[in-house]
Chain A
Amino acid sequence: MTAATTTAEARKPGPLDTLADTARKNGWTIGLLVFLGVLLAFTRFIQPTYGPSGIQNLAIQALPLALAAAAQAVVVIAGGIDLSIGSMMALTSVVAAANMEDQSPEYAVFVVIAVLVLGLVLGAINGTLIVATRIPDIVVTLAMGFVWAGAALLVLPTPGGGAPDWLKDLVLGSLGTEWLPKALVLLAIVVAIVWLPIQRSKIGLWLYANGSSPLAAFRSGVPVNRAKIIGYMVGGLFAALAGLSLTASTGIGTPVPGPTYTLLSVAAIVLGGVSLAGGRGGLFGPIVAVFILSLLRTDLSFLRINTNLSTVAQGIILVAVVMVGTLVQLRRERR
C-alpha cells in the first residue's frame, strides 16, 4: 500500500525503516486476508454444502457495508470522521429508488449519475460546514446525520420505489465462473476507479498529510481545508454508491437503514488497520474486515449459535483485535 510510503515520507526514516514499515503495514492486511481464508475453510468444514451460492450471498450481504467502510476510511484517513454515513446511504438509496420506479432503463442511468453527484454534494456540505465553522467533525456529521435522515423520510416516508433490472443484475448473480460473484467484481471495480487515481495523485498525498498532521501539512503548503472537503466528498461518493447498492440488492429504497451502518463502518475501518487519529491505513484492509465480519455472522448461524450471541461475539472480537493492536503499538513505542 502506498499508505506506508506516504506516512514514511512524513517521518523521513532510513531505507531500512521504510522497508520494515511497509512490511508491518501490509502485515496487518495480509493477516486479515489469511484470517478470511481460514474462516472460509472453517465455514466449508462446518457446513460442507457451503459453496458458490454461499459466497454469492456473502458478497451481496457485504457490499453495502464494504462501500460504507470505504467511505469512512477515506474520511478518517483525511483526518475526520463521518457519523452521517448511514443517513447518507438512506437518502441516496431512497432518492434512487423513488426516481427509478417504473422508468425506462435509460432514464435510470441518468438517475444513478445524479445520485452519485448527490453523494458528492452531501459530502461537500459536511466538509464545508466543518471547515467553515470549525466545529469538531464528530458534532457536525452527527447533526447532519439527523438532517439527511429527515430528508430521506421526506423523499419516501415508507420503504418503496423500485430499481431497473440492469441495476439489480449488476450485483445479483455471478460472472463467468459461479465462484466469482458479481457483487465482488463490482466492489473491486468501483473502489479501483474511485480510489486508486485519487490515492496515486497529489490529492491522495494531501489527504494522508492532512490526516497525519494538519499543522505540518499546512506548513508544507498543503491546502488543508480543500483536502478535508475533498476527503468528505469522496466519502459522500462512496456512501452514495453504498446507498445505490442497497437499492440494487433489495430492489427498493428504505428510508431508515439506521445508524448501524455508520457504527459498523467505524468498527470495520479500525479492524482494517485505519487509525482513528488519521493519516494511516488504506481501503483494502477495511473491506477485507467487512467480509470477515459478515462471514463470522454466517458461521455463527451455521454453528446454531443464537444470532444475538453473534452480535456479542462481534463486539468482543472488535475489542479484542483493537486491544491486540494497541498492545503491539505500546510495545513498539516503549522500545
Chain B
Amino acid sequence: MSGATATAPAPARGEARVSAAGIRALLRDRPAIPLAILLGILIVMSEIVRPGTVDANWASVIIRTAVPLAILAGAQTLTMLTGGIDLSVGAVASMSGFVVATLVGDMGFMSAILVAIAAAALAGLMTGIGVGIFRVHPLIMTLAMSLVVLGLANVWQLQNVQTGSGVPPELRTLGAGFTFGIIPNSFVVFIPIALLILFGLRRTGYGRMLYAIGDNPVAARLSGAKSWQILLLLYIISAVMAGIAGFLLSGATNTASVTLANSLLLPSVAAAVIGGTSILGGRGGYGGTILGALILTVVTALLNSLGFKEADRLILFGAIIVLVAAAYTRVTSES
C-alpha cells in the first residue's frame, strides 16, 4: 500500500532539514501543510489586492460559499478513493435543493429535508447497485443516473409550477444565515459531516476498505473484502452528501432550480484532485479536499475582486488544477 496517505506515519523529525527531498516527502505524506501554505498566500494576496477585505465577515462568507462545494467534493473524494468517480452529485444536489424548496410549504421543513435525503439515497442506491453488483463503469453509471435524476426533477418541476422567486425562509436561514451573527449556519451542519468522514476514513474498517479497493481491487477481494457491499454503501453515502450540499446551496444562493448545482460538478472533482486525492484510487483524504475547496473558493473570490471576467477565471481555474496535479504527480511518482 503505497497509498493511504491518511494513515501513513509522519516523516521522521530528525530529517526536518529544508531540502528538495524534504519538501517532496512533506508534500507526499502531509499534503495538508503545503496546501494550507498555498491557502495562506492566497488570503494574503486577497488582502494586498484590496486592503481591508480580509476580516471576520469575509471569512464567514468564504466559508459559507465553500461549504456546499466541500461537501460535494467530499462525496467525490470517497468515490475517487475506490477508483471511481461520481458524476451524479450535481444532479442529485440540484434535485434535493429543489425538492426541499417546493415541499417546505406543504409538509414542514424537517419532513421536506427528510424526503429530499430519502430521494437522494434512493438515487445512490440505484447507482450503487449498478456499480457494485452489475459492475457498470462508475463514469457511465453516475452519468446515466444524473440523466435520470435530472429528468425526474424536471417532471417534478412541471407539476409544481408555482416556484415563484427565492426559496422558503427556513432554507434561507440554514443555507445563508449566521449563528451569533458570524458563524455560518451551513458550517454548523458541515462540521459533524466533516468529522465523521475524517474519522471514518482513518479509524474505521469501512474507511480502510475504501482505500484497499481503490489501491488494488484484486488484492482487496482476495483478502475477503466484499466490494459490492462497500460500493453499494459508498454510493448511497455519496448521494446523501450531495443531497445535503444541495439544499445548503439552494439556501445560500436563494435559488431553487433543477440545474443549480451542475456548475459545481467539475469544481468538486477539481477540489478533490487539488487536495491530493488520486483519481486512480487508493490515495488521498478528506482534509486535503476541504483545503482544496477553500482554495478554489478564495481564488474565485480573488479573481472576482480583481475584476476578472468569467472567461479569464475559467482559464486560470484550469491552469491551477493542471499545475497542482502536476506537482502531486511529480512527488508521488518519484517515491
CA A288 to CA B140, docked complex, whole Å? 18
> How far does the Cβ of A10 sit from chain B's closest Cβ, in whole Å?
21
A167: interface (CB < 8 Å): no
Among the stretches B54-62, B180-188, B202-210, B265-273, the one at the interface with A is B265-273
CA A8 to CA B21, docked complex, whole Å? 45
* Those of B124-154 within 8 Å (CB) of chain A: 130, 134-137, 139-141, 143-148, 150-152, 154
Q: B329 touching A318 by the CB < 8 A rule?
A: no
CA A316 to CA B149, docked complex, whole Å? 11
A54: interface (CB < 8 Å): no
A136: interface (CB < 8 Å): yes
> How far does the Cβ of A178 sit from chain B's closest Cβ, in whole Å?
34
CA A157 to CA B314, docked complex, whole Å? 13
Q: B158 touching A153 by the CB < 8 A rule?
A: no
CA A327 to CA B269, docked complex, whole Å? 30
> How far does the Cβ of A71 sit from chain B's closest Cβ, in whole Å?
17
Could you say which of A81, A134, A146 contacts B315, with CB atoms under 8 Å apart? A146
In the complex, which residue of chain B has the Cβ closest to the Cβ of A269?
A: B140
CA A81 to CA B158, docked complex, whole Å? 36
Contacts of B135 in A (CB 8 A): 326, 330
Given contacts A133-B326, A144-B322, contact A322 B154 (CB under 8 A): no
B101: interface (CB < 8 Å): no
Q: A315 touching B144 by the CB < 8 A rule?
A: yes
Given contacts A149-B314, A153-B311, contact A142 B321 (CB under 8 A): yes
Contacts of B130 in A (CB 8 A): 319, 323
B280: interface (CB < 8 Å): yes
User: What's the dominant secondary structure at chain B's contact region?
Assistant: helix
Given contacts A142-B270, A270-B137, A276-B137, contact A135 B310 (CB under 8 A): no
Q: B310 touching A270 by the CB < 8 A rule?
A: no
Contacts of A316 in B (CB 8 A): 144, 148
A250: interface (CB < 8 Å): no
CA A311 to CA B149, docked complex, whole Å? 9
Contacts of B311 in A (CB 8 A): 150-154, 157
CA A322 to CA B138, docked complex, whole Å? 11
Instruction: Mark interface residues in A281-319 (1 if CB within 8 Å of B CB, else 0).
Output: 000000000000000000000000010111111111011
A80: interface (CB < 8 Å): no
Q: B151 touching A323 by the CB < 8 A rule?
A: no
Q: B266 touching A327 by the CB < 8 A rule?
A: no
CA A327 to CA B135, docked complex, whole Å? 9
Q: A133 touching B325 by the CB < 8 A rule?
A: yes
CA A66 to CA B135, docked complex, whole Å? 27
Given contacts A135-B322, A150-B310, contact A312 B147 (CB under 8 A): yes
* Those of B258-302 within 8 Å (CB) of chain A: 265-266, 269-270, 273, 278-280
* Those of A124-145 within 8 Å (CB) of chain B: 129, 133-136, 138-140, 142-145
Q: B279 touching A138 by the CB < 8 A rule?
A: yes
Q: B314 touching A140 by the CB < 8 A rule?
A: no
B312: interface (CB < 8 Å): yes
In the complex, which residue of chain B has the Cβ closest to the Cβ of A143?
A: B321
Q: B158 touching A308 by the CB < 8 A rule?
A: yes
> How far does the Cβ of A95 sit from chain B's closest Cβ, in whole Å?
14
In the complex, which residue of chain B has the Cβ closest to the Cβ of A275?
A: B137
Could you say which of A147, A309, A319, A327 contacts B318, with CB atoms under 8 Å apart? A147
In the complex, which residue of chain A has the Cβ closest to the Cβ of B317?
A: A146
CA A189 to CA B147, docked complex, whole Å? 32
Q: A263 touching B143 by the CB < 8 A rule?
A: yes
Given contacts A157-B311, A318-B144, A319-B144, contact A143 B137 (CB under 8 A): no
CA A312 to CA B140, docked complex, whole Å? 14
Q: B136 touching A133 by the CB < 8 A rule?
A: no
A59: interface (CB < 8 Å): no
Given contacts A319-B141, A323-B130, contact A134 B322 (CB under 8 A): no
Q: B151 touching A133 by the CB < 8 A rule?
A: no
In the complex, which residue of chain B has the Cβ closest to the Cβ of A315?
A: B147
A173: interface (CB < 8 Å): no
Given contacts A157-B311, A323-B136, contact A140 B151 (CB under 8 A): no
Contacts of B136 in A (CB 8 A): 319, 322-323, 326
Q: A327 touching B134 by the CB < 8 A rule?
A: yes
A266: interface (CB < 8 Å): yes
A267: interface (CB < 8 Å): yes
> How far does the Cβ of A122 sit from chain B's closest Cβ, in whole Å?
13
Q: A139 touching B279 by the CB < 8 A rule?
A: yes
A223: interface (CB < 8 Å): no
A residues at B contact (CB < 8 Å):
81, 129, 133-136, 138-140, 142-147, 149-154, 157, 259, 263, 266-267, 270, 276, 306, 308-316, 318-319, 322-323, 326-327, 330
* 5 examples of A-B residue contacts, CB within 8 angstroms: A134-B329, A259-B266, A270-B140, A308-B154, A323-B130
Q: A276-B139, A315-B143, A326-B134 are in contact. List 8 more A-B contacts (CB 8 A).
A: A143-B317, A143-B318, A144-B322, A152-B311, A153-B311, A276-B140, A311-B151, A318-B143
The 9 closest A-B pairs by CB, nearest first: A150-B314, A315-B147, A146-B318, A311-B151, A308-B154, A312-B151, A153-B311, A147-B318, A150-B315
B residues at A contact (CB < 8 Å):
85, 87, 130, 134-137, 139-141, 143-148, 150-152, 154-155, 158, 265-266, 269-270, 273, 278-280, 309-319, 321-322, 325-326, 329-330, 333
